[in-house]
Amino acid sequence: MSFNYLMQILFIYPFILLVHHQISDISFKWYEYFVIVSVFVLTDFSSFYYFFLEFTVLILFSYIKDRTKPMALHLFYGMYPWVMEGVLRRFVAFYVLPVFTITDPGLFSENIFVIILTEFLVYFIYFVATYQIRFDFQSLSDWVSTQTLRRRLFVIDIGMLVYFIAIEFFTGAEYYGHVNTLMIRQLLTIFYFIVFIGSLIYLNSAYKKHLEEELVKVRLSELDTLLTYTKQIEELYTEIRAFRHDYANILTTINEGIIHNDMDIIKKVYQSVLKESNDILESSKYDFEGLAYIKDDALKSIIATKIFDAKKRGIDVRLDIPDTIDKPDNMALLDVIRLISILVDNAVEAALKAECPQVTINLHEDDGNYIITISNSTKEERIPIAYLSGDGYTSKKNGDHGIGLTTIKRFKDKYPNLNVEAVNNRYLVEQRVTIEKNN
């Protein structure tokens, strides 16, 4: 192994793994790092046709680390570091170094100073460009939750693969077949550099547009829920006004019984009227005053919507909010809404199968921690904890509910301060999400 090649290993491989960690947030153990680097080195000393192993090993490790993510994302994680390093290295060699009168191709593989300068510029250009574009790679997991953006990401994967194969083919043709392909490689590099960066910017703007559309839907849902909520309040007010009228007549009847010392009248009024009135007042329809304790309108709207929808489906819904509460400060509002929607939807679907469908929603803060607790009755006496924790278990055919549980797992990856716990009692499931305050 030449010293120059060793210098390339010291710069290129760390860059590849650093970029891979940046975009995927995947950390490798020391032995995993050793295996990956060994494959890189083995590929460099193997036949030219084995070059694809360089990104295949990263795709494989990404898949092993989290099999719930779609293949388009694993392909991106595996190819992006190599493609980006190759594009930037050739961009520097073809267009930047000539500015400093460094044009001899032999210097790029033989001169230590040129090798170090090239890789330094690769690092500099990449991280400056990443900062300027402000591309959020951690949102990639959220992108693939929509079919449209997933297809677009897959197109980018195909583009990276085509470029990687083409540039390696023309490089091999020059160094092994002695065919002059310098002009082709220069044009291919600058063309792909512009197209690739443009694609990332486009995807970033497309995702932001998707988020804006989701927020618009939330706002429209707020209006619909407000109308439903207002109608519900009007119905309750009508019932209370009727009850107040009846209550005045009840007091008059009891007063007559007291004046005439007629206990039979008093007992009759209690048994036929007061007991029934108490049952009415204890009805769950009067339990929604907790909505008034929620400060954020969007959060109030989604909870009210879920409650009304569940009641229409014949579920006894209880809302328990003991004190005034806002949305969590350290979690995006849209993520909070999605999280609560998934938890309530799962609870409703499970409760519908139970003999006595029942769902309870609780929001409160404890020592600065934001706690969401959703409980529901179940048909089965016991449900696997893996299902409750969102670890990939599915009790439905074709894994219909897997998207929601997978999204919860992504929330856990995105927010290290988010903990999900599940308690399984007899015919009752309780899912508790704690969003810990920032230290």
How far is it, in rounded angstroms, from Cα 159 to Cα 203? 14
Mean pLDDT computed over 1-8: 59
Whether 417 has a pLDDT exceeding 60, the answer reads: yes
Which residues, other chains included, contact 408 with Cβ-Cβ below 8 Å and sequence gap of 6+?
339, 342, 343, 390, 420
Q: Given this model, what pLDDT does residue 237 score?
A: 65
Q: What are φ and ψ of residue 29, in 5° steps?
A: -75, 165
Q: For residue 380, give both structure tokens.
A: 């089965």
DSSP character string of 259-293: HTT-HHHHHHHIIIIIHHHHHHHTSGGG-GGGGGG
Burial class (CB in 10 A: 0-12, 13-18, 19+), 198: exposed
Mean pLDDT computed over 213-217: 74
Q: What share of the chain is helix, strand, coil (3-state, %, to 5)?
A: 70, 10, 20
Q: Taking the CA of residue 198 as centre, how many other CA atoms within 13 Å lie in the half-sphere pointing to its CB?
A: 7
Q: What are φ and ψ of residue 85, in 5° steps?
A: -65, -45
How far is it, in rounded angstroms, from Cα 129 to Cα 19? 13
Mean pLDDT computed over 211-239: 68
Q: Given this model, what pLDDT does residue 278 score?
A: 57
How far is it, in rounded angstroms, from Cα 149 to Cα 127? 25
How far is it, in rounded angstroms, from Cα 62 to Cα 192? 25
Domains and CATH numbers, the chain: 3-216 (no CATH), 293-439 (3.30.565.10)
In contact, 354 and 378? CB cutoff 8 Å? yes
Strand order of the β-sheet with 428-435 is: 316-320, 358-366, 369-377, 428-435, 418-425
Q: Which region among 214-218, 310-314, 340-344 has the lowest average model confidence (pLDDT)?
A: 214-218
The CA–CA distances, whole Å, from 297 to 25, 72, 133, 218, 330 equal 33, 36, 33, 10, 18
User: In whole angstroms, how large is the CA radius of gyration of the chain?
Assistant: 32
Question: What pLDDT, in 10s, does the model give residues 256-299?
Answer: 777 777 777 777 766 666 555 555 555 555 456 677 788 887 78
Whether 108 has a pLDDT exceeding 70, the answer reads: no
DSSP state of 95: I
In contact, 374 and 430? CB cutoff 8 Å? yes
Higher pLDDT among residues 401 and 185, named by residue: 185
How far is it, in rounded angstroms, from Cα 396 to Cα 383? 13
DSSP character string of 160-173: HHHHHHHHHHHHHH
Q: Given this model, what pLDDT does residue 293 score?
A: 84
Residue 411 CA, distance from chain mean position: 5
Percentage of the chain beyond pLDDT 90 is 2
Whether 235 has a pLDDT exceeding 80, the answer reads: no
Stated as kind and residue range, the H or E segment containing 369 is: strand 369-377
Q: Given this model, what pLDDT does residue 239 score?
A: 64
Q: Given this model, what pLDDT does residue 400 score?
A: 38
In contact, 40 and 153? CB cutoff 8 Å? no
